[in-house]
Amino acid sequence: MTGRPLVLKLGGSLAESGHLKNIIRLVERARRRTIIVPGGGPFADSVRALQPQLNLTDAAAHRLALLAMHQMAIVIAGLSERFVTTEYLPELSISRTTGAIPVWLPYALQHHDATLPADWTVTSDALAARLAERLIEADVALVKSCPIAADATLEELAAQGIVDPVFPIVVTRARLAWRVYGAGEEALLADALRVTPTA
């Protein structure tokens, strides 16, 4: 697999909407170098609910949300033999030699990352962009369970709450090529992943 890698965030809402397995079946056939960034899904929702009950700081909740992404990463990695969990940048090049698709565990690289706020303005959206920024020559894409207007700008998507408010900031500063795929856009995602159509 050659060319620019794609950092692909799979939203936690995909699991709740029942579409995660269908997307996984598509991603596991990718012929483009792909790195999966998991959303936090129901595990992050639990952190949101727990924060006011225990009076947790935003920084503590942020760290717990990173660990929620670890839980979703384990879920996702268990859905395909081609997926393998990884933490550090050198490990993310694994697909070059083995054909495996890394599923990123973000805590090690992100819990002390001063370039992003440690609060709820940062979700796995911004973290996916940040990973693409760290990798330098990489593109970023998000897969959401809601419809996405084809001509929507970064600012419009953030204003609508479809992406987090920090995602446009990271994309702009790193000059990343980006795309947000919504419900019903599996064919477009397949093209981006260079998936060979099945007979």
CATH, residue 103: 3.40.1160.10
Write b or e for each residue in 162-180: b if 16 or more Cβ atoms lie within 10 A of its Cβ, otherwise e: bbbbbbbbbbeebebebbb
Inside any domain, residue 109:
yes
Q: For position 126, what pLDDT does the model report?
A: 98
Q: For position 198, what pLDDT does the model report?
A: 63
Inside any domain, residue 1:
no
Inside any domain, residue 198:
no
Inside any domain, residue 51:
yes
Amino acid (1-letter code) at residue 177: A
Inside any domain, residue 85:
yes
Neighbours of 194 (CB within 10 A): 15
How many domains does the chain contain in total? 1
Walk along the chain (199 residues) and give the pLDDT tens digit of each residue: 457 999 999 988 887 777 899 999 999 999 999 999 999 999 999 999 999 999 999 999 999 999 999 999 999 999 999 999 999 998 887 777 788 999 999 999 999 999 999 999 999 999 999 999 999 999 999 999 999 998 999 999 999 999 999 999 999 999 999 999 999 999 999 999 999 766 4
Inside any domain, residue 69:
yes
Q: Which residues contact 75 (CB under 8 A, 6 or more apart)?
A: 15, 38, 41
Residue 12's domain spans which residues?
A: 6-193
| Helix 58-77 and helix 41-54, axial crossing angle in degrees, nearest 10 | 160
Inside any domain, residue 199:
no
Q: Give kind and range of the element (H or E) at residue 189.
A: helix 186-193
Q: Is the pTM of the predicted complex or chain greater than 0.85?
A: yes
Inside any domain, residue 112:
yes
